[in-house]
Amino acid sequence: MIGINRVKSWLLIAAMGGLFVLVGAWLGGRSGATTALVLALVFNFAMYWFSGSIAVRSTRSRPVTEQEYPQLYRIVRELTQERGLPMPGIYVSDMLQPNAFATGRNPRNAKVAVTKGILQILDERELRGVLAHELSHVANRDILVSSIAAAIGMSITFLARFALFFGGDRERGNGLALLVAWLLAPLAAAIIQLAVSRSREYQADESGALLSKDPEALASALRKLEEATRRVPAPASVSPAEAHLFIMNPLRAGSAARGFANLFSTHPPTEARIARLEQIRRELGAG
């Protein structure tokens, strides 16, 4: 299942790339497409390079010592040794909403953060499951994958707006067609980008469950986080652009997005994540 999600992520990114080429060829021509791509790559490279610092600042997380949080350090050390990862920086946020995130441009620059809220409601087994999920994001280089998807998505948006306001390729479309493309191309790119985010969450759930060898612990943690995220609001400092970093969308509980609305969600429905974890538990039991 993990391999399927990895392939799905890259197929979605390839689809975004194909959409960019089509929109560029039809609306902006080669020069317009190239300009949009370069601008988006520059912007998102900067976001990728500084993503760790941005996320830490927005959540007001601080680095903590092993003396302050011995259990947290012990769990992370055991999991990183099991996975063959460097020890990440460990941070704790004063946020009361229970949540966790991992960031950093590569495993050697990784940061794993938990909120005080999550430390209050999860037992050690559940916390281990959550940390295995976050370390899987690090091992899978999900910050890089999401940055690539964001760069292409932003390129499509730039290109569509450029074509609308500066005329695009008049031989290939009229004003109405440009307006439709201006509306629909960025929407399609956003939907695909969010699908990439959901795919990475599924993959981190699965690889994290295998790392901890306890999928039921992560499922139990998700149940608690789902309920608590509904009750405890996130601080205003967390922006929608950062929501995909967290194990549970801090701005909207995972199961709130159903059906068509799920297309615009950064995370899969929590019940779907739990169902997959229960399937992994059965498969591990059968093995």
Task: Name the residues annotated as catalytic.
Answer: 134
DSSP letter assigned to residue 217: H
What does the radius of gyration of the chain's CA atoms come to, in whole angstroms? Answer: 20
User: Own/partner pairs for 3-9, CB < 8 Å, 24+ apart?
Assistant: 5/199, 5/200, 5/202, 5/203, 5/206, 6/140, 6/203, 8/199, 9/145, 9/196, 9/199, 9/200, 9/203
Contact in structure between 126 and 186 (CB atoms under 8 Å) = no
| CA angle in degrees (0–180, nearest 5) for 193-197-199 | 110
Residue in this structure with the two tokens 């009229």, named with its chain if needed: 174
Tokens of 127: 């916390």
